[in-house]
Structure 1
């Protein structure tokens, strides 16, 4: 048996859910809340093509540029909209028609790989984004959060996310926390499913 990495686990949950959702909804709408270098955005676009829609958010120009290039190379840019905007402001640009119909949201918290490590996701904006996204999520939809604690501020953000997720009502959400126990600062994964 091979224990999957945090990112591999997140993608397995998302792929399984989106395969089922694609057979029941006309347009699968998903969000990459932290696009980074675009690997997750590309993964989500591959999952929902050709009729789905991906909305991606990041506050850094470098992230938008790298992601756009990656999507263009894969001919998937037409189904993706990228915004240089903090993830807690996603509701300012998403069409209201998607309220209650988002199938999946992916967060990869921390900082832009190979970017400025001082620019990190913040507990305040992450929790604000999550609180809003639970309302936009479809019944059966999922949110995945990769939590990184090896950088300054990472442990505090992870603790805030765990505390918030733990407080979600069990009658409306199922929450799982997956972690590697014998490695210092190993990333962990939170998966939230809306019932």
Structure 2
């Protein structure tokens, strides 16, 4: 076996392994979302809280230890770091409420984004290749956005379930790709 083919086989095996691990993790997370949606959402909220605390420590450290920044920049970094740290700690102390707030926030945010997306689609009607589909898309987007604004928690729950289903489906596809990657179709 030549060095080139050994390197190629090693690269293919590495890619197959990465695809397989990514697929399995995707399926596991998707199943967790569907089986325990509330608990999984709390875990996601806890991860975000950990990130907030870590980012806060970094910002505070930049403000405290950076000699190249001006006074206001250093103060700004320290204040931002403290805000991140406090937000992370508060989220941990009230994990259930923080999870509900995050769902509410995301539901409202997605609702607003869908309304804006629908309005933007309508503004491009003059350039649209298919005016009918553009109008249809815009109307559906605006209606879905309004529904999310009036019931953001319900909307976030539906989006969470759809994410779980999508992760399972895409994870299975990724696992199949891992087994098929690098094999020549006959």
Do the two structures share a fold, i.e. TM-score over 0.5? no
Rg (Cα) greater in structure: 2
Which structure has more RCO (C-alpha within 8 Å, separation ≥ 6)?
2
Could you say which structure has the higher helix fraction? 2
State the TM-score, normalized to the length of structure 1: 0.21
More strand by share: 1
Give TM-score scaled by structure 2 length: 0.22
